Structure 1
Amino acid sequence: MILFDFDGTLVDSNGVWEVVDNTFLARRGLTPTQEYSETVGHSIFPLAAQFTIDYYHLDTTPQAIMDEWTQLGREAYLSQVPAKPGALAFLEQCRRQGEDMVLLIACVPEFCHAALKRLEMEDYFSRLIFVQELGMLKKDPATFVHVLKELGTSPEESTLYEDSPGACASAKAAGLTVVGVYDPFYARFEEELKGLCHRYIYSFTELLQP
């Protein structure tokens, strides 16, 4: 079983959310801090929205924030977000080898489906699992234990491809084989990921067989 993250792993989209966050804050005369950006960067929408309210003492609701984020992010996923180099070719290679592939993602479902269809990726995956629908976070090892049990497989038989240091650490703690994928959003954690993951790649092209 191969599990794939989506944002920052298969598609180059983390920059989109940085722009969304910065635009949202700029409209209110606010500036993002490193702590804020790191916290919301790979959190699920409801928790990130509540954190934003608490962090900046905003007089609004999580739903209102999520609606604004959704409006800001929709167009990028519908027309702009590109696949990472070699990602499509690697998915095709895995399919030829008979691998069962699943997406384990925190992306907004509407955006994910739109990008998957546009990039012709959707047919590669037997399941799409959105962690927000589980009410769980990928930085918690229990999430991977739960998902693999649901999929009927074991950590020893499973590999995760992921760009987030927190998710990589929790997957490793849960017993999965972890392949870290470079993304500029997490560039400052590169050495940490190299030490943490079983393998670290800069591009899926490194994994393509001749």
Structure 2
Amino acid sequence: MPSNEINKLSNIQLVQFDLDGTLLDSLPQLWQAVNIMLNQLGFAQVTAEVVQLWIGNGADKLVERALTDALGQTPSEREQQAARSGFDAAYDSVAEHKIVLYPGVLDTLSQLNALGKTLALVTNKPYRFVPAILASAGIDGYFSHVLGGDSLAQKKPDPAPLLHVCQTLNIAPEHSIMVGDSENDVLAAKAAGMRVVGLTYGYNYGRNIADSKPDWVLDNIQGLLDLLKS
């Protein structure tokens, strides 16, 4: 790594993380909730592989994509609202069940904490679900600030959530880095003027995260420690 890159990374004070597909594999719970919703509406169930391609833009988009697939057309506002209500109730019943952190997540968060880094979470998942999920996963104590997809008027790929975290924690964007698994994370970070790490194992609509051109591409989140220890 060039010396100028090392110097930039040595100034990183704040690490902002995505949640689904980055820290935890939430596909099983989202898949269950989508199928419960579809079943209640009289539609056929779908595979986990299909649902995985729908994840990433928040609950409204997930529900819209599921309904569009079932109906063969974009749902009406009434259909969308009814389905979203059903999804929320279904997800409430399964969101905290058998949560699985990706390999190396707990160790990475712990070591970053030990290095004195400030950690934050920025997810497009509705905030109402987030605290209980973090607590069930045993990682709620690591984050100085947590934003959900409905915490602000904008969500990723808009840079507003990332910039809001920086402002709240009084840390300049150039001293922050974003870590995520989808192009939403990359686009938001670049628009916010911060560096970004793309992880290869999450939910990026079936596309290679490298295509979004993050500053670094990692197969394992623990590689973040090597970057920030440089």
TM value normalised by structure 2: 0.74
Cα deviation code 1:60-106 (max 9, x no counterpart): 462x4333212322343322121111000000000000001111122
Amino acid at match of 2:103: P
> What is the CA–CA distance in structure 1 between the aligned matches of 2:77 and 2:118, rounded to whole Å?
44
Among 187, 202, 205, which residue is 1:169 paired with? 187
Q: Work out whether 1:9 is the aligned partner of 2:9.
A: no
User: Greater share of helix residues, 1 or 2?
Assistant: 1
User: In structure 1, what is the Cα distance between the partners aligned to 2:212 and 2:60?
Assistant: 32
Q: Is 1:205 the counterpart of 2:219 in the alignment?
A: no
1:130 paired to 2:148: yes
SS in 1 for 2:103: coil
The higher radius of gyration belongs to 2
Q: 1:189 aligns with which of 174, 198, 207?
A: 207
Structure 1 gap segments, 5+ residues each? none
Within the candidate set 126, 129, 145, 1:111 is matched to 129
Between the aligned partners of 2:205 and 2:149, the Cα distance in structure 1 is: 24
Distance 1:82 1:30, change over 3 A: same
Q: 2:139 aligns with which of 121, 141, 145?
A: 121
Equivalent residue for 2:37? 24
Instruction: Report the RMSD for the aligned CA atoms in angstroms.
Output: 3.2
Taking structure 1 as the reference length, the TM-score comes to 0.80
Which letter does structure 2 place at the counterpart of 1:66? R
Question: SS in structure 2 opposite 1:2?
Answer: strand
CA gap of 1:19–1:95, structure 2 versus 1, over 3 A, is: same
